[in-house]
Amino acid sequence: MGLGLSIATEMHSEPPLAHDPKRRHATKTATDRAVEAIESAEKIFAEEMGATLDLGPAAKMALIATITAAIQAAVAEEGQQLTWVL
């Protein structure tokens, strides 16, 4: 007389992430997510500032480019400072 418990002997799991190219490339890294967040913030900020300042599409794009350049410069500077620490 059994207890009515069964143990599954077959596992239907997917291969580890590192060995599955479809899933590995679909997974975003923290850096990917940070880049997406920064890009979204740039666009939102430019849209809000554009609306506030009544900017046209070309001026909004110029604002996005300026914001992007400032962020990239700040990231590069921080990276350089971190290099000195290491």
The answer to whether residue 19 scores a pLDDT higher than 70 is no
Give me the pLDDT at residue 67, please: 86
* CA–CA dist 66, 75 (Å, integer): 14
**What percent of the chain clears pLDDT 90, i.e. is strictly above it?**
2
**What percent of the chain clears pLDDT 70, i.e. is strictly above it?**
65
* CA–CA dist 37, 14 (Å, integer): 30
Tell me the mean pLDDT in the region 35-62. 87
Tell me the mean pLDDT in the region 49-73. 88
